[in-house]
A = this chain, B = another copy of it.
């Protein structure tokens, strides 16, 4: 099928006209180029009769546009990223764009390579959750003429279009919710990182704790792998057994925390409360269900695509666009009002296994 494909020359020849005319008609520039209606009709008729499809490769080569968007994230299989990917794909497809994706594994080296490869492929735009330390590569590789929208995290001092959520106030809200529910020893589990979203979440937690006159208890995991993380969280909770509530700073930490608490035989909602930053569908079905800060995935994707489409059609405005979206706290059973010790049903401890 691919071999016998028609070219624009075939169409022009059959019509006794020029490729110029055919090209103009096909690309909807007929009016603007003052092609006569008769010719337009003849071209359109033959094109649809022969089901002629222009060769996208030739077109890309000629115009430099690939109708492709590079989507670069830490790991595509993380629910947050695959959720964003879903909506980005929907919206990009509607505009005739397709998504080329790759995961950086949170590695600067791998991130640089992906950036380079996608740039060589001439993607028309980039959507990136950028690993730290890659600012120069982004600037250099992309060289200013390709639209880039960063999301999930920002690089301070790095000018770019951004779509973010209000991490600080969301974390503060989650913490305040635990305070309001009567918890006094509220820990915050995050990762050892300089990624902005994690720092801002920590800041929000600390702000709420300090205002309430409580002691901040922050645990920073040096993330090397799931088993290590689970062990570290378990050790932390064991060594600080005064802790009555935990805010986990992102969904994989919440997961690791659930594993740790299970291993320690801690009963969520009984011995310990928790809130997860990032919601997952399952959290609703957990016993008890898990309170979570839900990021507005579709809205994030919407904003990203809106900015991108704007840049793609009109990149003269050099003012950077920064969208900061709000989150939604889904209050569930894991953060119920704190039971005093005599309210705890002793038999509860025997159940759930």
**A7 to B345 alpha-carbon distance, docked (Å):** 76
Q: Which of B56, B89, B145, B351 contacts A102 (CB 8 A)?
A: B89
Interface magnitude class on chain A:
35 or more
**A2 to B287 alpha-carbon distance, docked (Å):** 55
Whether B77 contacts A83 by the Cβ 8 Å rule is yes
Residues from chain B with a CB closer than 8 A to the CB of A86 are 75-77, 103
Provide the A260-301 mask, 1 if CB < 8 A to any CB of B, else 0: 001000001000000000001110111111000000000000
**A122 to B351 alpha-carbon distance, docked (Å):** 57
A259 within 8 A of B: yes
Provide the A334-353 mask, 1 if CB < 8 A to any CB of B, else 0: 00000000000101101111
**A289 to B352 alpha-carbon distance, docked (Å):** 9
Stretch from A15-23, A92-100, A186-194 contacting the other chain: A92-100
A258 within 8 A of B: yes
A227 within 8 A of B: no
Stretch from A60-68, A165-173, A314-322 contacting the other chain: A60-68
As for how many copies of this chain the complex holds, the number is 2
**A347 to B99 alpha-carbon distance, docked (Å):** 53
Q: Which of B280, B281, B351 contacts A351 (CB 8 A)?
A: B351
A79 within 8 A of B: yes
Q: Which of B68, B83, B85, B285 contacts A258 (CB 8 A)?
A: B285
Residues from chain B with a CB closer than 8 A to the CB of A140 are 1
Nearest Cβ on chain B to A221's Cβ, whole angstroms: 17
- Report A95-121 residues with CB < 8 Å from chain B CB: 98-103, 114, 117-118, 120-121
A80's closest neighbor in chain B, by CB? B77
Q: Which of B57, B103, B268 contacts A61 (CB 8 A)?
A: B57
A240 within 8 A of B: no
Whether A56 contacts B353 by the Cβ 8 Å rule is no
Provide the A47-59 mask, 1 if CB < 8 A to any CB of B, else 0: 0000001011110
Q: Which 10 A-B pairs have the closest CB atoms?
A: A1-B143, A82-B82, A258-B285, A77-B86, A61-B61, A287-B352, A347-B347, A57-B61, A77-B82, A282-B282
25 A-B residue pairs with CB within 8 Å: A1-B143, A2-B64, A2-B143, A3-B145, A57-B60, A60-B60, A60-B61, A61-B61, A76-B82, A76-B89, A77-B79, A77-B85, A79-B79, A79-B82, A82-B82, A82-B85, A89-B101, A89-B103, A98-B100, A98-B118, A99-B101, A255-B285, A262-B285, A262-B287, A262-B289
